[in-house]
Amino acid sequence: MTPIDKAKEIPYTDLMSRAAPKEGLFRAIAQNSELRKTWILGTYKTYVEAKIAANKASKEEGMSAFVHNSYGRILYSVKD
């Protein structure tokens, strides 16, 4: 399970960056609503890899995680 890109922080209100860069890829996102911070965990070739990354991130207190497709649609979400 290796992401195609590196994890990075994005603005909390930046909804466009949450979408995977191209069709057939999946992007895992983590956010902390209290801190108003959001991170791209990585972009993955399979939904299962992105879901595993989201599940790991959500184990931290206060974190929610999501998997998005290339259209920005949320395919999976999990909270702490």
Global model pTM greater than 0.75: yes
Give the model's confidence band at 1: pLDDT under 50 very low, under 70 low, under 90 confident, else very high.
low
Q: Are 51 and 76 in contact (CB under 8 A)?
A: yes
**Neighbour-count burial for 56-67, b at 16+ CB within 10 Å, e otherwise:** bbbeeeebbbbb
* Average pLDDT of span 16-25: 95
pLDDT score, position 9? 95
Structure tokens at 23: 């069709």
pLDDT tens digits along 29-78: 999 999 999 999 999 999 999 999 999 999 999 999 999 999 999 999 99
Structure tokens at 14: 């930046």
Q: In what order do the strands lie in the sheet with 8-10?
A: 8-10, 37-44, 26-32, 63-68, 74-79
